[in-house]
Structure 1
Amino acid sequence: MNKLKWAPALLATLAAGNTQAQSSVTLYGVIDAGIGYVHNAQGSDGKNASTLVRFSSGNTFGSRWGLKGTEDLGGGLAAVFQLENGFNDGTGTLGQGSREFGRKSVVGLASKQLGTITLGRQYDPVVDLVQAYTEDAYFGGSFASPGDLDNYDNSVRVSNSVKYVSPVLDGFQFEALYGLGGVAGSAGAGQTYGFGGSYAGGPLGAAVAFFHANGGNTTTNDVRTWTSSSDTLFNTVINQGFASAKSIQIVRAGTQYVLGSFTVGAAYSNTQYTRDGFSVFSKTAKFNNGSAFVNDQLTPAWRVGGGYNYTRLTGPASAKYHQFNLGTDYALSKRTTLYALAAYQKASGTTLNASGATVQAEASIGSYGVNSGTNSQGLIVLGMRHKF
C-alpha cells in the first residue's frame, strides 16, 4: 500500500523530467561598441559643429541580450517564446524608447508542417525577409538609407501584433503581419500590416515585401502625433518634416548572389508618407531609394565591402542624397570581431523641416542618427563586437 501511495508522485516527477528534456531555454546576446568620428555634426544649440567624436553603441549589430525557448507539445507542434532587450553599452541605458524588451517580446506556436504564429512586439516582413539581402546584414546601419527612412536598418518594430511565417517550401517562404491599433470605434487608427515572400536557392537569394502603418488619431495643436502600433521612422532631418503623416507605406525588394569569395547585391525601395488635414505638408512625399554592394571574403576571418546608396524625394520637395560606404571586419574568434566603417553622404535640393517649411536638404548618414546641419557628412567608426 505504501508503494502505491508513492506511485502518483513518482509518475509526476517522471512526467516533469520528460517535459523538461523536450524543452529548451537559451540566453544569448551581442555587445557592439566603438568610437565614432563625424565630420559635420549639428550642435545642441542648432549650429554646425565641425567635428563630433563620441562613444558609439550598436554600430554593426544592435547591442542586446535575450532569452528564447521552445517546448515540444508533440505531433510536430511546439510552443515558442523570445524576449530581447536592447541597450546602449556606453551608458547602460535601455534602448527602443526605454522598453525593457523593446527589440522583441513574443510567444507563439510553431509547426514544421504548417508554419509559425507569434504574438507580441516583433519585426515586420520588410525586415525579416529583405534585410538579409542588403549590406545591413554584414556591416550594419551606416550602409542604410539616409535616416533609415525605409526601415532598411529595422528602426521600426510593431507592437500588439500577430505574425505568420510559413515553412520553407522549395526555397520559398512567405510571411504576413497585422498590428492592432486598439482605438475604440476606429479599427483602422494606428493599425499596421505587411506581407512578403523570399527565395533562397544555391548562390541566389531574393525577397520582396510590403509595409503599411497608420499614424493614429492623436493630434497636438491640430497636428498629428504618431501613435501607431508601429514605431516612428521620423528620427532625423531626412524625413522629420513628414512626422505628421497619416500613414507610411513601404515596398522593398532585395537580391544577392554569391560567386566564390564575392557577394554582390542590390535593393530598391519606394516609401510614401501620405497626408490628411492634420498633416503639415501638402502632398504625398515619395522617397525612391536604390542601393548596391559588393563584399569579398578575403580570408575565412577577414571581409571587406563597399556600397552605394541613392535616394530621391519627390512631391512636396525635391531632395537627392548620394551615399558611399566602406566596411571591413576581422574575426578574432567565432564570437569576437574587430571592425571599421567609413561613409560619406552628399545632399542637394530641398526638403521640409518639422514645421513644414521648405529648407535646403541636409545630410544624415544611414541610421547613425546624427544631423549634419549642412549638405554633406563624413563618418568613421572603429569598434569591436562580441557575441555570447
Structure 2
Amino acid sequence: MRHSCTLTALLMAGSPCLAQSGIDVYGIIDVGVRGTSDLGANNAPALPGHSTAVSSGVDQTSRWGAKGKETLGGGWAALLRLEGGINADTGASAKSDRLFDRLAWVGLESPYGTLAAGRQTNLLSDALIPVDPLGKRYASFNPNINVAGLSNTAFGTHALGRQYGPSGYADNFYRLDNTVKYTANAGPWQARAAWSFGEAPGDASASSSHGAALAYQRPDWVVSGATMQFRSREDLPLNAWTLGAAVRIAGWDFKANAARNKANTGADKTLRQRVLSAGVSREARPGLLVTTAWYSVRREATGFSGDGFNRGFLFLENTLAPRTTAYAEADYTVWRGDAAGLTASRPNGRHGSGLTLGLMHKF
C-alpha cells in the first residue's frame, strides 16, 4: 500500500489523489472490413475496380483522451481535455506531427458560462453536433464534416490549397490552435463565441479566425447555427455559415442542414461551396438503430467549371452491450463535373460505392 501511495503521489506531483482530481481516461476503438468500388485510398475517386481493406473510424472516429474537472467552490471548476485520433487498423496516431491532434485545452466553468483556451473544434463543428443527419458518423467521408465544417476540402480541381486560421494544415480548418472559446447557457438557449489567434508577427488578423454560434434546444426539437471568418497568412478571408434543425416525432428523428462558405484564394479568385443534407433515424427494435442520410455538395471556383457530388448513407447499428456496438454501413457517391478527376490521364469512375461491417468499443 505504501508503494502504491508513493507512486500516486509522484504521478500527481503534489496534486490531490487521482480519484479526487476527477481525471478520466476514455476512448473509442472502431474497426471494420470495408469493400469499395471505384474508390481508392481515403475514399478518393479511383479508376473502375474493387478493393477490400481494414478501416478505422467508419462509425465513430477511433480516439483516446483524458478529461478532468476539479471543483473550486462557488459554482466554479477547473477543466481540462486532451484527445488524439488513432488509426486503429495500424496503431498509428491519426496525425504524425501531434499527439493530441483533436483537442488540447484547459478552461474554467462558472455560473456565467465556460471559458476554454487551447486547440479546439471550430464553431461550425459545434453547431453541427445536434443537426447533422448522420450524427457526425464516418467523419472522414461525411460532407458536413469535410466541406461544411472544413475538415477536408481538397478533392477534384477545387482545392483551397492553403491554411485559413491557425489549424496547422492546408485545406483542414476543423480544429484550431490558439483558440479562446466562451459557451453560455440560458434556459433553452446556448450561445458560443470564439477567437483564434493567428500569432503572426505584426499582423493580428493574419491566420486568425473568429465567430459566433447560437442554438435553441427543446426536448423534441432543436435549431442550431454558426457563422465564422477565417484569415490566411496572406490575410485572405474565408467566410462560412451553417444552419440546421432536428425534430423527433413518434420515435422518428428527422434532421436537415444547409451550409455555405466562400474563400478568396488569390487576386480576383474565389472558391464557393455549399452543402445541403437531410436524414432520418429510428430504432427498428430495441438496440437496433437505422440511420439514412443524403448530402449534396456543389462547388464553384474561378477558372474551373463547377463540380461536386451527391452521397447517400445507410447505417445499421446493433448495441451488443452498453459500450459495444456492431454495425453495417453502405454508401453511394455520384461525382459531378471534374470532381472525379483523373489517374495517369485516365478518367476515374463516375460513381463510387462502399460497404462496411464493423465493431466499435468505447472505454
Please state which band the TM-score falls in when normalised by the shorter chain: 0.7 to 0.9
* In 1, Cα distance between equivalents of 2:20 and 2:340: 55
The within-5 A match list for 1:188-227 is 188-217=205-234
SS class of match (1:275): strand
2:282 aligned partner: 296
1:362 aligned residue:
340
Matched to 1:254, the amino acid is: G
- The amino acid of 2:319's aligned partner reads A
C-alpha distance in structure 2 between counterparts of 1:101 and 1:43, whole Å? 24
Letter of the structure 2 residue corresponding to residue 54 of structure 1: A
**2:93 maps to what in 1?**
94
Q: For this pair of structures, how many residues does the alignment match?
A: 321
Q: Which moved more, 1:373-382 or 1:58-67?
A: 373-382
Matches of 1:386 and 1:252, distance apart in 2 = 31
TM-score (norm 2): 0.81
Pairwise CA distance, 1:20 = 7.3
SS of 1:149's partner is helix
Residue 73 (str. 1) matches residue 59 (str. 2): no
Which residue does 2:322 correspond to in 1?
334
Structure 2 residue identity aligned to 1:332:
L
CA distance in 1: counterparts of 2:50 and 2:97, whole angstroms: 28
Q: Distance in 2 between matches of 1:292 and 1:43?
A: 27
Distance 1:20-1:335 versus aligned 2 partners, 3 A rule: closer
Q: Counterpart in 1 of 2:264?
A: 274
Partner AA of 1:382 in structure 2: L
Change in CA separation of 1:72 and 1:19 when aligned onto 2, cut-off 3 Å:
farther
Query: Closer, same or farther in 2 for the Cα pair 1:347/1:146, shift >3 Å?
Result: farther
Matches within 5 A, 1:298-337: 298-316=284-302, 317-337=305-325
Deviation at 1:114, TM superposition (A): 0.5
Which residue pairs with 1:159 in the alignment?
177
For the 8 Å contact 2:292–2:313, the answer to whether it is kept is yes
Percent of paired sites with the same residue: 27
User: Of 239, 258, 272, which aligns to 2:248?
Assistant: 258
Q: CA deviation at 1:138?
A: 6.0
Query: Do structure 1's residue 285 and structure 2's residue 271 form an aligned pair?
Result: yes
Question: Once the two structures are superposed, what CA deviation does each residue of 1:96-134 show, in whole Å capped at 9, x if it has no partner?
Answer: 3531011101011111x2001111101122111222211
Identify the residue that residue 108 of structure 2 maps to in structure 1.
109
**Structure of larger gyration radius:** 1
SS of 2:285 mapped into structure 1:
coil
Following superposition, the deviation at residue 142 of structure 1 comes to 6.8
Residues 184-215 of structure 1, C-alpha deviation per residue, up to 9 Å, x if partnerless?
A: 01111111222101111020011000122222
Distance of aligned partners of 1:186 and 1:97 in 2 relative to their CA distance in 1, 3 Å threshold: farther
Specify the code of the residue in structure 2 equivalent to 1:296: R
CA RMSD of aligned residues (A): 2.6
List runs of 5+ in structure 2 lacking aligned partners. 1-13, 153-171, 342-346
**8 Å CA contact retained: 1:200, 1:206:** yes
Output the amino acid matched with 1:270: R
| Structure 1: stretches of 5+ with no match in the other structure | 1-15, 218-244, 350-359, 364-371
